[in-house]
Amino acid sequence: MEVMILNRIAALRNYMNHHNLDTFIIPSTDPHQSEYVADHWKVRTYFSGFTGSAGILIITQKVAALWTDSRYFLQFEDECGNSEIELYKQSIPHAPEHIPWLCNLLNKKDTIGIDFRQFSKSQIDYLKDCIGDKEIQLKNHPHFTKEIWLDRPSLPKGKVSNHSLEFSGESAKSKLAKVQLELKKQKADYYFFSSLDEIAWLFNIRATDVDFTPLVTSYALVGVEETILFCNCERFSQEHLEELKSIGVSVLDYDEVAVELPKLSKETVIVTDVFSLNYACYNAIQGSIVHQNSVVKEWKSIKNTTEINGAISCMKKDGVALTKFFMWLEESLQHKKLSEYEIGRKLESFRAEQERYSGESFAAIVGYKGNGAIIHYTAPKEKSALVEKKGILLIDSGAQYKDGTTDITRTLWLGGEPSEAIKQAYTAVLKGYISLEQISFPEGTIGVQLDVLARMHLWQEGLSYPHGTGHGIGSFGMVHEPEQGFATSGVTSRGTAIHKENQLTTIEPGCYVAGEFGIRIENIVLSKFSKKTQFGTFLKFEPLTLSPIDTQLILVDKLSEKEIQWLNEYHQKVYDTLSGLLNKEECEWLKEKCKKI
Amino acid sequence: MEVMILNRIAALRNYMNHHNLDTFIIPSTDPHQSEYVADHWKVRTYFSGFTGSAGILIITQKVAALWTDSRYFLQFEDECGNSEIELYKQSIPHAPEHIPWLCNLLNKKDTIGIDFRQFSKSQIDYLKDCIGDKEIQLKNHPHFTKEIWLDRPSLPKGKVSNHSLEFSGESAKSKLAKVQLELKKQKADYYFFSSLDEIAWLFNIRATDVDFTPLVTSYALVGVEETILFCNCERFSQEHLEELKSIGVSVLDYDEVAVELPKLSKETVIVTDVFSLNYACYNAIQGSIVHQNSVVKEWKSIKNTTEINGAISCMKKDGVALTKFFMWLEESLQHKKLSEYEIGRKLESFRAEQERYSGESFAAIVGYKGNGAIIHYTAPKEKSALVEKKGILLIDSGAQYKDGTTDITRTLWLGGEPSEAIKQAYTAVLKGYISLEQISFPEGTIGVQLDVLARMHLWQEGLSYPHGTGHGIGSFGMVHEPEQGFATSGVTSRGTAIHKENQLTTIEPGCYVAGEFGIRIENIVLSKFSKKTQFGTFLKFEPLTLSPIDTQLILVDKLSEKEIQWLNEYHQKVYDTLSGLLNKEECEWLKEKCKKI
Domain range summary for chain A, segments of one domain joined by +? 2-140, 161-300, 302-593
Interface contact flag, B463 A439, Cβ < 8 Å: no
| H helix intervals, B49-153 | 73-80, 98-105, 121-131
Domains B2-140 and B302-593 alike in fold = no
| H helix intervals, A161-248 | 165-168, 172-185, 196-203, 238-246
**Banded model confidence at residue A71, pLDDT cuts 50, 70, 90:** confident
Query: Which is nearest to B377 in space by CA: B367, B368, B385, B386?
Result: B367
Q: DSSP string spanning B504-537?
A: EEEE--EEEETTTEEEE-BEEEEEEEEEEETTEE
At residue A375, the pLDDT reads 85
Instruction: Among A459, A463, A491, A566, pick the best mutation site for testing chain B contact (most B Cβ within 10 A).
Output: A459
- % of chain A surpassing 70 pLDDT: 100
**Residue B367: strand pairing partners:** B394
| List of residues 6+ apart from A32 with CB closer than 8 A | A194, A195, A196, A217, A219, A276, A278
| Peptide bond preceding A2 in cis form (omega within 30 of 0) | no
Is residue B1 predicted with pLDDT exceeding 80?
no
Q: pLDDT tens-digit profile of A445-493? A: 999 999 999 999 999 999 999 999 999 999 999 999 999 999 999 888 9
Instruction: Among B450, B465, B489, B530, pick the best mutation site for testing chain A contact (most A Cβ within 10 A).
Output: B489
Q: pLDDT tens-digit profile of A525-550? A: 999 999 999 999 999 999 999 999 99
Is residue B26 predicted with pLDDT exceeding 80?
yes
Interface contact flag, A462 B489, Cβ < 8 Å: no
| Pairing of the two strands B288-291 and B269-272 | parallel
More confident residue, A135 or A171: A171
Q: pLDDT tens-digit profile of A413-440? A: 999 999 999 999 999 999 999 999 999 9
Query: Which is nearest to B501 in space by CA: B569, B435, B440?
Result: B440
Q: DSSP string spanning A22-49?
A: SEEEE-S--TT--SS--GGGTHHHHHH-
Residue A451: closest C-alpha in chain B: B449
* Interchain contact A531–B (C-beta under 8 A): yes
At residue A491, the pLDDT reads 86
**Banded model confidence at residue B95, pLDDT cuts 50, 70, 90:** confident
- In CATH, the number for domain A161-300 is 3.40.350.10
Distances (CA, A) of B582 to A295, A581, B316, B331, B577: 65, 72, 11, 17, 10
Q: What are phi and psi of A291, to 5 degrees?
A: -75, 135
Compute the nearest-CA separation of B374 from chain A (Å). Answer: 15
Residue A490: closest C-alpha in chain B: B490
Compute the nearest-CA separation of B451 from chain A (Å). Answer: 7
Q: Identify the burial level of B551 via C-beta atoms within 10 angstroms of its C-beta, where 0-12 means exposed, 13-18 middle and 19 or more buried.
A: middle
Interface of A with B in 448-507 (CB under 8 A): 448-453, 456, 459-460, 462-464, 488-490, 496
Is residue A377 predicted with pLDDT exceeding 90?
no
Is residue A142 predicted with pLDDT exceeding 90?
yes
Query: Of the ranges A91-105, A353-367, B215-229, which one carries the lowest mean pLDDT score?
Result: A91-105
| Pairing of the two strands A249-252 and A227-230 | parallel
Q: Identify each DSSP E strand in A92-182 by its residue range.
A: 111-114, 137-140, 161-162
* Interchain contact A536–B (C-beta under 8 A): yes
**Banded model confidence at residue A72, pLDDT cuts 50, 70, 90:** confident
* Interchain contact A250–B (C-beta under 8 A): no
- Amino acid in position B305: T
At residue A581, the pLDDT reads 98
Cα–Cα dist A229/A256, whole Å: 10
B383 and B421 Cβ atoms separated by less than 8 Å: no
Q: pLDDT tens-digit profile of A317-332? A: 999 999 999 999 999 9
- In CATH, the number for domain B161-299 is 3.40.350.10
Cα–Cα dist A131/A115, whole Å: 18
Q: pLDDT tens-digit profile of A253-300? A: 999 999 999 999 999 999 999 889 999 999 999 999 999 999 999 999
Q: Which residues of B touch A448 (CB under 8 A)?
A: 448-449, 490
At residue B560, the pLDDT reads 96
Is residue B423 predicted with pLDDT exceeding 80?
yes
**Residue A512: strand pairing partners:** A518
Cα–Cα dist B584/B315, whole Å: 20
Of B450, B496, B535, the CB nearest to A452: B450
Q: Identify the burial level of B222 via C-beta atoms within 10 angstroms of its C-beta, where 0-12 means exposed, 13-18 middle and 19 or more buried.
A: buried
Residue B516 zone, left/alpha/beta (φ > 0; ψ -120 to 50; rest): alpha
Query: Which is nearest to B520 in space by CA: B465, B594, B438?
Result: B465
Is residue B402 predicted with pLDDT exceeding 90?
yes
Cα–Cα dist B81/B3, whole Å: 13
At residue B129, the pLDDT reads 86
Is residue B93 predicted with pLDDT exceeding 80?
no
A214 and A401 Cβ atoms separated by less than 8 Å: no
DSSP 3-state assignment of B2? helix
Distances (CA, A) of A357 to A164, A197, A543: 15, 19, 22
DSSP 3-state assignment of A100? helix
Q: Which one is the CATH code of A2-140: 2.40.110.10, 3.40.350.10, 3.20.20.80, 3.40.50.10090?
A: 3.40.350.10
DSSP letter, residue A235: G
Is residue B173 predicted with pLDDT exceeding 90?
yes
- In CATH, the number for domain A302-593 is 3.90.230.10
**Residue B250: strand pairing partners:** B228
Compute the nearest-CA separation of B562 from chain A (Å). Answer: 11
At residue A1, the pLDDT reads 61
A462 and B533 Cβ atoms separated by less than 8 Å: yes
* Interchain contact B437–A (C-beta under 8 A): no
Cα–Cα dist B561/A240, whole Å: 65
* Interchain contact A538–B (C-beta under 8 A): yes
Cα–Cα dist A587/A597, whole Å: 18
Interface contact flag, A489 B463, Cβ < 8 Å: no
Q: What are phi and psi of A546, to 5 degrees?
A: -125, 90
Give this prediction's pTM: 0.93
Distances (CA, A) of A229 to A155, A281, B419: 17, 15, 63
What does chain A come to in residues? 597
B308-332 burial, b at 16+ Cβ within 10 Å, e below that, comes to bebbebbbbbbbbbbbbbbbbbeeb
**Residue A270: strand pairing partners:** A190, A289
Is residue B257 predicted with pLDDT exceeding 70?
yes
Q: Which residues of B touch A446 (CB under 8 A)?
A: 489
Cα–Cα dist B57/B26, whole Å: 5
DSSP letter, residue A262: G
B496 and B100 Cβ atoms separated by less than 8 Å: no
Residue A442: closest C-alpha in chain B: B459
Query: Which is nearest to B405 in space by CA: B299, B314, B298?
Result: B314
Q: Identify each DSSP E strand in B365-473 by its residue range.
A: 365-368, 386-387, 392-397, 399-401, 404-405, 408-413, 440-442, 470-472
- % of chain A surpassing 90 pLDDT: 90
B47 and B5 Cβ atoms separated by less than 8 Å: yes
Q: Which residues of B touch A453 (CB under 8 A)?
A: 452, 456
Residue A561: closest C-alpha in chain B: B560
* Interchain contact A373–B (C-beta under 8 A): no
At residue A407, the pLDDT reads 98
